[in-house]
Structure 1
Amino acid sequence: MPRYSEDDIIARVFAPIAGAAALGLKDDAALLAPESAQLVVTTDMVVAGVHFFADDDPSLVAKKALRVNLSDLAAKGAEPIGFLLALALPPDWTNAWLHAFAAGLAEDARAYGAPLIGGDTGATPGPLTISITALGRARRFVPRTGAKPGDAIFVSGPIGDAALGLVVRRDAALARRLSDVARDYLIGRYLLPQPRLDLAPWLAANASAAMDISDGLAGDLAKLCRASGVSAVVDLPLIPFSDAAHEAIAIDPALFETAITGGDDYEILACVPPDSTNFIETAHAAGARVTTIGKAIAYDGSPAFRDRYGQVVSFQRPSYRHF
């Protein structure tokens, strides 16, 4: 029997033993409901050599570890309360590295109003592993499971920058062909995601379903649709790309698929009922960029991505996969 995929591990191994607050492990966060507010809890892990390079600036590593968790809170319509840190250090760690890591973590904790409230530190033969559990409060939890046929599908920010930034980090020839501005921008988006906490109140007020995009737009949309029991139609020309992404794709058109299917965006994917007509206006008024890219439809298989001619486009690898 072949090894389980990541989805198999969740559905077959852990979902049967999860408690009610885990929502069947169909979402990015658990839901607890104390009397005064809904408490939202989420955990994400980052590992050297997988989510960042071992020689990356430790302050940026710390910020990325926290921000990927804050991104999950934002997608659930929650504001941060604080976080727990579990840090497994390899044999080559130094005091200087640890101080720089802590400085970056403290800077973002202050900026986002998310204080460190506990955790654990241990040794590991490697690689460096960082796990953060973030807690937030929401007046309304936004699940993955609430999308309905007819809902408009939105994304925040530009799509694919981080995945392209990783390619640029690994491909010196591509890096040389890009302008300095485009190269630095794409690498920066890979190193330092921007959690869309400014969107949280509007998601709580308007969205039927939402999640952050961590494993690629195509794959994460498929996950949301499966959880909600719907499908979707997305028009590829509507997907927002940055100028830097356009520059990279012009050099190598194969990078278009990388941008749609690669991970580390940490933008928001949301479904909004058609009667929530003021969603874009209120989001833009708050300084948040959102773009309509398609709509949810009655279940009819996997989401369809259509090109400018209305033809359905298939992707060789629709999502980043850990296993």
Structure 2
Amino acid sequence: MGEFDLIARYFKRNTAPAQAAPAPAASLSIAKDTPGVALGIGDDCALLTPAPGQQLAISTDMLVEGRHFFADVDPAALGHKALAVNLSDLAAMGAQPLAFTLALALPPARAGDDAWMSGFARGLFALADEHRCALVGGDTTAGPLNISITVLGQVPAGQALRRDGARAGDDIWVSGTLGDARLALLALQGQLALPPDQLATLRQRLEQPTPRLALGTALRGAATSAIDLSDGLAGDLRHILNASGVGAVLDAKALRTAGATAATATGLAHARSADAGQDLQHTLTGGDDYELLFTAAPAQREAVRAAGAASATPVTRIGRIEPAQGAWLQDAQGGRQPLSDFRSFDHFA
């Protein structure tokens, strides 16, 4: 199969060539049914028309086999995650998805594997259709498996959630639960033994994260800053603190609550208690959570809780912003530990 046949067969919606396997089920016609997309796949460039008064939000993420995912990952889960990690960036800006491009390097054996390619496209387009985000272009080449997606969204001018808006006195919040993906990774690496049903639940958190788009848009006007958690809370919080010129104190008890909610709800307490001494380490440095970390003034607490309820997303207040730079973890007795003791993931460290 040639490059253009591969694109037409798996990634050009509603236009599969004759005698090819059916393209993934499509609920969107690229040019007609996707708001803001005037021209999609098939020309040298896509043409987008953002709504009046909107700013474009653009982000790129790359997933590399062996670095970001295991070779035996379910291809549908990989298609989902490849787009989800980009949509999570839009969520952190309070933006709505518009379109995305896909650059895909494929080993020839994968390119010729219909089951793998169909599964990948199915997972990718299922999430794209859920959020009305159209594939409008990209590139394919032979090489080690590497997936790079650029996503485009739109947000009302002046309403984007940025990293530089945190102010002294703000509350620090996190969505969802933290540390599940880290536990799955440890189990898959053979460092933690888990029953198969518990590993399956945790692995879904690692390989099929939920981008918090509804929460992100609901937080416009309430949150003062935001970031998505990809490399671990301890490291990602520093991006907000550095951009805003402030410091932070995190509440260890509240962090344990944020890290334990899912375990209680899904019967995964065993997984967390298996290494209780490392519980906060997982919560603070795990990575791959793709939850939102954000700040808001105390006067906005009810608005934040309402945003969480409206988006069906748990939110937990885990600390506060302080005027003096520096980040600390505070225990119930008031003792403080530097957050720098907890190292998040760094590709080049």
Band of TM-score, shorter chain: 0.7 to 0.9
In structure 2, runs of 5+ residues without a counterpart are 1-49
- Rate the CA distance shift 1:141–1:280 in 2: closer, same or farther, 3 A: closer
* C-alpha separation in 2, matches of 1:285 and 1:188: 23
Equivalent residue for 1:233? Answer: 249
Q: What is the letter of the counterpart of residue 52 of structure 1?
A: F
Q: Find out whether 1:163 has 2:163 as its counterpart.
A: no
1:95 aligned to which of 113, 125, 136: 113
* C-alpha separation in 2, matches of 1:112 and 1:133: 15
Equivalent residue for 1:82? Answer: 99
- Rate the CA distance shift 1:223–1:284 in 2: closer, same or farther, 3 A: closer
Q: What is the DSSP-based 3-state SS (H/G/I as helix, E as strand, rest coil) of the residue aligned with 1:208?
A: strand
- Rate the CA distance shift 1:274–1:138 in 2: closer, same or farther, 3 A: same
Equivalent residue for 2:208? Answer: 192
Equivalent residue for 2:217? Answer: 201
Identity %: 43
Q: Find out whether 1:150 has 2:169 as its counterpart.
A: yes
* C-alpha separation in 2, matches of 1:307 and 1:248: 23
Q: Find out whether 1:309 has 2:322 as its counterpart.
A: no
Q: What is the letter of the counterpart of residue 272 of structure 2?
A: I
Q: CA deviation at 1:284?
A: 3.3
* C-alpha separation in 1, matches of 2:304 and 2:219: 11
Q: RMSD value over aligned CA atoms? A: 2.0
1:216 aligned to which of 229, 232, 245: 232
- Contact persistence 2:234–2:342 (CA under 8 A): no
Q: CA deviation at 1:86?
A: 0.6
- Contact persistence 1:76–1:203 (CA under 8 A): no
* C-alpha separation in 2, matches of 1:54 and 1:149: 45
- Contact persistence 2:215–2:308 (CA under 8 A): no
Q: CA deviation at 1:224?
A: 1.1
Q: What is the DSSP-based 3-state SS (H/G/I as helix, E as strand, rest coil) of the residue aligned with 1:135?
A: strand
- Contact persistence 1:202–1:279 (CA under 8 A): no
* C-alpha separation in 1, matches of 2:183 and 2:137: 35
C-alpha distance after superposition, 1:25-54 (max 9, x if no partner)? xxxxxxxx9853111111111111111101
- Contact persistence 1:152–1:292 (CA under 8 A): yes
Q: Find out whether 1:266 has 2:290 as its counterpart.
A: yes
In structure 1, runs of 5+ residues without a counterpart are 1-32
* C-alpha separation in 2, matches of 1:227 and 1:202: 23
TM-score by length of 1: 0.83
Q: What is the letter of the counterpart of residue 79 of structure 1?
A: Q
Q: Find out whether 1:121 has 2:146 as its counterpart.
A: no
Q: Would you say how many aligned residue pairs link Structure 1 and Structure 2? A: 286
C-alpha distance after superposition, 1:185-218 (max 9, x if no partner)? 2111111111011102222121110000000011
1:135 aligned to which of 130, 148, 152: 152
- Contact persistence 2:77–2:123 (CA under 8 A): yes
* C-alpha separation in 1, matches of 2:220 and 2:86: 18
Which protein shows a greater Rg?
Answer: 2
Q: Find out whether 1:249 has 2:293 as its counterpart.
A: no
* C-alpha separation in 1, matches of 2:71 and 2:120: 13
Q: CA deviation at 1:245?
A: 5.9
- Contact persistence 1:144–1:209 (CA under 8 A): yes
* C-alpha separation in 2, matches of 1:74 and 1:223: 16
* C-alpha separation in 2, matches of 1:53 and 1:228: 36
Equivalent residue for 1:16? Answer: none
Structure 1 runs (4+) deviating above 6 angstroms are: none
- Rate the CA distance shift 1:311–1:246 in 2: closer, same or farther, 3 A: farther
C-alpha distance after superposition, 1:247-304 (max 9, x if no partner)? 3231113432133212100000001122223223312331121110001011332x10
- Contact persistence 2:180–2:206 (CA under 8 A): yes
- Contact persistence 2:219–2:304 (CA under 8 A): no
Deviates more, 1:256-265 or 1:190-199: 256-265
- Contact persistence 1:143–1:209 (CA under 8 A): yes
Q: Find out whether 1:276 has 2:293 as its counterpart.
A: no
1:37 aligned to which of 54, 57, 63: 54
- Rate the CA distance shift 1:300–1:200 in 2: closer, same or farther, 3 A: closer
* C-alpha separation in 1, matches of 2:203 and 2:76: 15
Q: What is the letter of the counterpart of residue 103 of structure 2?
A: A
Q: CA deviation at 1:246?
A: 4.1
* C-alpha separation in 1, matches of 2:269 and 2:283: 10
Q: What is the DSSP-based 3-state SS (H/G/I as helix, E as strand, rest coil) of the residue aligned with 1:118?
A: strand
C-alpha distance after superposition, 1:162-198 (max 9, x if no partner)? 11111111126x33xx344432221111111110111
Q: What is the DSSP-based 3-state SS (H/G/I as helix, E as strand, rest coil) of the residue aligned with 2:147?
A: strand
